[in-house]
Homo-oligomer: A and B are copies of this chain.
Amino acid sequence: MGVETNQSGPIGRPRGFDADEALERAMLVFWKHGYEGASTACLTNAMGISTTSMYAAFGNKEKLFRKVLERYTEGPSAYLVRAMEEPTALGVATAILSGVVRTTTRPAHPHGCLGVQGALTVSDSGQEVRDLLVAWRNDGYSRVRERFQRAVDDGDLPPQTDPGLLARYLTTFAFGIAVQAASGVGRDELQEMADAALRNWPLS
């Protein structure tokens, strides 16, 4: 602490690459190949840096993936937080599903969801990353459930509604969309299906 201006840059040799840009490239590789399917050689090649630079900047492969997952959550998957702010539960559900459909079928990005296909199954050495994504998906479910609970409390949803069941239904459908997108199913078909699914809300 102090009044020192400290306008000088960081000490030492400056980085020869844009860490943010490198992280973006790494995200695309993990997104497409999954955690264990993306080798360090494949990653660093896409990032345009050497393995040494990658390890100096991000620690190791697992830490790089955690950074990537944060970026994914705040970037491609940010539709989730925005959807929570919709005034009605139906609005939330609609925004989530259309957000999933758009994010998992964007032409410029790998198809599917990083949080689903990043590490659905792993070898023995990848358990921690698998658990990380399990927690990531469960966290999404919890947020939706709490939002629907609030909707029940506010009278937006019928009082006998089970928010957990509704949240499980919605996230299950979202994960299913991610699998379909990863299989190459087109955006329009998925959106049409999501629309049809929400024509019955909230589940009779």
Contact = CB atoms under 8 A, between A and B. Distances in A.
Contact of A138 (B138, B183, B200): B183
Nearest to A115: B179
Interface residues on A, range: 35 or more
A175 B34 CA distance: 18
A62 to B, nearest CB: 15
Contact of A193 (B112, B120, B138, B169): B169
A131 to B, nearest CB: 10
A199 interface: yes
A124 B38 CA distance: 9
A179 B137 CA distance: 10
A37 B116 CA distance: 16
Given A123-B39, A196-B203, A204-B199, A179 B168 contact: no
A183 B185 CA distance: 23
A189 interface: yes
Interface in A175-204: 175-180, 182-185, 189-190, 192-193, 196-197, 199-200, 203-204
Contacts of A177: 172, 176
Given A36-B36, A37-B121, A176 B172 contact: yes
A124 B41 CA distance: 12
A165 to B, nearest CB: 6
A120 B123 contact: no
B180 A193 contact: no
Nearest to A135: B183
